[in-house]
Amino acid sequence: MKLWGGRFETEPAQIMEEFNASLPFDQRLYREDIVASQAHAKMLGKTGIIADEDAKAIVKGLKEVLADFEKGKFVFTATDEDIHTAVERGLGEKIGVTAGKLRTGRSRNDQAVTDLRLYVMNDIDQTVDLIADLMKALTDRAEAEGGAIMPGYTHLQKAQPITLGHHLMSYVFMLERDAARFTDCRGRADILSLGSGALAGTTFPIDRDMVAAELGFTRVSSNSLDGVADRDFVLEFLAAAAVTMTHLSRFAEELIMWSSREFGFARMSEAFSTGSSIMPQKKNPDAAELVRGKTGRVVGDLMAMLTVMKGLPLAYNKDLQEDKESLFDAGDTAKKCLRVMVGVVETLTFDAARMSKAADDDFITATDLADYLAVKGMPFSAAHTIVGNIVKICVRKNKRLTDLSLEEYKDFSPLFERDVLDVIRVKRSVERRTSRGGVSPDQLKSQIAEARSLINKFRRPTA
């Protein structure tokens, strides 16, 4: 019989049964549902709302139901509308009619959102661990091979020389903010909704603080309508996942370019590449391409849930059943992509010589020339114009900046002296950028040290 069947005279249509059921996807919440139910039963017994022996029987029966799930022995039936119905039915088969007392003082509305909050908190812990793994993989590569000089780009045009380490570390600090976003989201998911009832609380003298402590929540919802009606913590999780995936996608895009013959900066290992069914020579960067593609999927999950939430009147509406599939998909996708990217980064092969050669042309130290004149006292705007003219002449004569003699430089400005020939060297350009966060070797060491500290901050202590 349905949990809500008392008022109805006929059974739902078969298509409605299928349309209404959430069990195909919410069954993965079985552990959260059972753990939350055990905490609720203990509270009912301690407060005297139900007999203590009944509470103990419920807790024991739920433990047996959980064991059945863990061993793969729990069998769903056609009458199981959702995971809550299934667990209660399973409990009834263990302890009989006493199982019905578990429903005292709660609703599926506050039960469902409590399960979801527990799930999100646990999923965030796993995701942050994986982000820390990727941060470490990138930092390790930056430390080992980060001195290799390469072009930095704006508008996908060579701009200024940087190092491989500096480039890799940029993603480490993006990922640090991703981990922080998830951690912040966890704090806002950490609110017990159980006890809100369907929407108005309950007349029973429940102890919500006891349940919160039992389940590891640090706060209890202050308003029963808010407790059951909002899913902002799901939206925030999806937003954090979408931003993280966007960062992964940008890196994936660069790896795809870098592994092409045109760039040749890096080679992805065969373990994370595939071939072509028709072109024998192909080695495709499919791992990176899939990460790039799956980013659209996670962004779509966020957009879908924002659209679900935008017009819902208080309090609970069945639309909220849609929260789970988007949440599960985004979380699963992000975690899988993070795992893959760790493997990709750990097995990449970089071509330092190819990167260095690419950095040694296209007037990549032109800004250094302008800075040189500015240091000599010339307004930077004037220096910018002079160097622009130098580049224009070089393009016309098919020369590089390093091809010009000191006399030719002096034709543009008497401020140029012999040391200008050192300033325009690519290696010197990198070494001289010592401002905090810059590309110099010392700054790279500082960034790596900072990253190691951040990684440790996000690591959960091991038992």
Q: Which one of 155, 222, 435, 453 is the catalytic residue?
A: 155
Q: What is the 3-state secondary structure (H, E, C) of 376-427?
A: CCCCHHHHHHHHHHHHHHHHHHCCCHHHCCHHHHHHHCCCCCCCHHHHCCHH
- Catalytic-residue membership of 276: yes
269 backbone dihedrals φ, ψ, rounded to 5°: -70, 160
Cβ distance 323 to 306 under 8 Å?
A: no
C-alpha span between 108 and 106 (Å, rounded): 7
Tokens 């950490």 appear where? Answer: 190
C-alpha span between 236 and 273 (Å, rounded): 33
How many CB atoms neighbour CB 70 within 10 A? 11
Cβ distance 414 to 373 under 8 Å?
A: no
C-alpha span between 77 and 5 (Å, rounded): 17
From residue 368, how far is each of 13, 167, 288, 402, 434 by CA, in Å? 75, 20, 35, 13, 13
Q: Which one of 221, 249, 276, 326 is the catalytic residue?
A: 276
Tokens 């799956």 appear where? Answer: 294
Cβ distance 378 to 415 under 8 Å?
A: yes
C-alpha span between 114 and 191 (Å, rounded): 8
267 backbone dihedrals φ, ψ, rounded to 5°: -130, 130
C-alpha span between 429 and 426 (Å, rounded): 5
Looking at the annotation, which residues are catalytic? 155, 276
